[in-house]
Amino acid sequence: MGVIENLLAVIVVLGVLITFHEYGHFWVARRCGVKVLRFSVGFGKPLWSRFDRHGTEFAVAAIPLGGYVKMLDEREGPVAPDEQAQAFNRQSVWARIAIVSAGPLANFLLAFVAYWALFVYGTTTVAPVIGDIAADSPAARGGLQSGQEIVSVEGARTPSWNAVNLELIAAIGANGELAVTTRTSEGATPQQHQIPVGDWLVGQSPPRPIASLGVTPWRPELPAVLGKVLDDGRARQAGLQRGDRIVSVDGVAVDDWMAFVERVRANPGTPLTLQVMRDGERRDITLTPAVREQEDGATIGYIGAGVQAAEWPERYRREIRFGPLAAVGEAVSKTGEMSLLTLDSIRKMLVGLISPSNLSGPVTIARIAGDSARAGVESFINFLAYLSISLGVLNLLPIPVLDGGHLVYYLIEAVRGRPVPEAVQAFGLRIGVALVGSLMLMALYFDLMRL
């Protein structure tokens, strides 16, 4: 069931993103007087198609990993004399720039609308309150203490752990100090901290910013009660059910969920005798954790089960909500922030500060899409917005075959007053196909390694 949910989620996500992207090209092309021959969501043989009154074919194709808008163009075949004015290649350079840039801009617009809707609807998040501080960690050396709430990192507000994560990731490669502001309670005087770092998070795959800081987030006590049991996991095979409370493992009492997790992780492939409380009765169950290999080569136990959610105290909850007008500014700011973070991450990957193993392909995207859909509408829309921004940024990279590569050619044409020679464009196209193909293969390789 999890695989099917992931597949459906990624089809919905990619379908929405591709449709918006291609509709951006289509809408501007129509307004510039260009005849559109086909609007396709997906590649390959059409599963469904129809024609509108302008002669444009709208199609949904079998391979949902992209899409395209095919426009009338004399470079791709003969064009009737009475239609030559509608050919893409006959348009002014500024019209062609507008048509090509409209796709990525549509992705940024989609992200803006998604963030605006979230800000207006309102979200409830958990305040980033510190639980424990590791000894001799950057956080300890910077004076952070248990019970403090992190209110900003490098001057940026951090109302949630997700916001803390993003700001710490944005600082990858930093040397010197990170500015962190905390408070002990609402209304308390903020305290400034300088956290010493060197080559911050460089080479980590994936980056673990909060753990690297030496901070463990505060969480309410979690009793060892199962809230989720995967259909194909060892927990289900052993007979464990949702709502079961783990009392002991091999005769040793289990105090909370993390104590149970530690026993499972420390015993890959080793049978464990659990005493479980179910419906007021104690039962003995034998559970053998599966073996999972980590990136460092170590093995841990894994059973395919999750903890029952705990109730967070009201003082640790934060509601983020804005009026319709105020949400516009917040959505613009969020879209810009995530766009710059994506672009900066690409730069850092090129210079070696971020490991290429952080590249994600269709398998990882499908898994995250499924996880976000199961987590709720808010999580799914956040993921959709971020992926839309990533698609927009990637398409604007100056690589031939991408929209950004075409924009480079058209900007050169605007400056020179004549088009870039066809031979140069054809050579650039081959390079672009090789680069994009190599990146796709690398992303797929790292996807398979994560599996």
DSSP string, 183-209: ESSTTSPPEEEEEEESSTTTT-SS--H
pLDDT tens, position by position, 372-404: 887 788 889 999 999 999 999 999 999 998 999
Cα distances (angstroms) measured from residue 92 to each of 32, 66, 413: 10, 27, 10
Q: Which of 22, 74, 293, 330 is catalytic?
A: 22
pTM over 0.85? The answer is no
Distance separating alpha carbons of residues 184 and 144, to the nearest angstrom: 11
- Return the DSSP state at 127: -
95-105: average pLDDT? 97
Say what the pLDDT of residue 30 is.
96
How far is it, in rounded angstroms, from Cα 163 to Cα 173? 18
> For the CA atoms of 46, 51, 52, 57, what is the dihedral angle to 10 degrees?
50
Max mean pLDDT range (105-119, 185-199, 200-214, 243-257): 105-119
In the predicted structure, residue 451 carries a pLDDT above the cut 70: no
What is the CA 142 to chain-centroid distance, rounded?
30
More confident residue, 90 or 296: 90
Q: Which fold has domain 226-308?
A: Pdz3 Domain (2.30.42)
Q: CB-based burial of residue 21 (10 Å sphere; 0-12 exposed, 13-18 middle, 19+ buried)?
A: buried
Decide: helix, strand or coil at residue 372: helix
Is there a shared CATH topology between the 124-220+311-320 domain and the 226-308 domain? yes
The torsion region of residue 200 among left (phi > 0), alpha (psi -120 to 50) and beta comes to beta
pLDDT tens profile 164-198: 999 999 999 999 999 999 999 888 899 999 999 99
* Range with the poorest average pLDDT among 209-213, 410-414, 437-441: 437-441
Grouping H, G, I as helix, E, B as strand and the rest as coil, residue 223 is: coil
What are the structure tokens assigned to 322, written together? 């804005």
pLDDT of 286 strictly over 50: yes
Q: Give the confidence band of 1 by pLDDT, cuts at 50, 70, 90.
A: very low
Would you call 262 a catalytic residue per the annotation?
A: no
Locate the domains of the chain by residue range. Answer: 106-122+322-451, 124-220+311-320, 226-308
Please give the helix or strand (H or E) that residue 276 lies within, else none.
strand 272-278
Q: For domain 124-220+311-320, which CATH number applies: 3.40.1170.60, 3.40.50.1820, 3.40.1390.30, 2.30.42.10?
A: 2.30.42.10
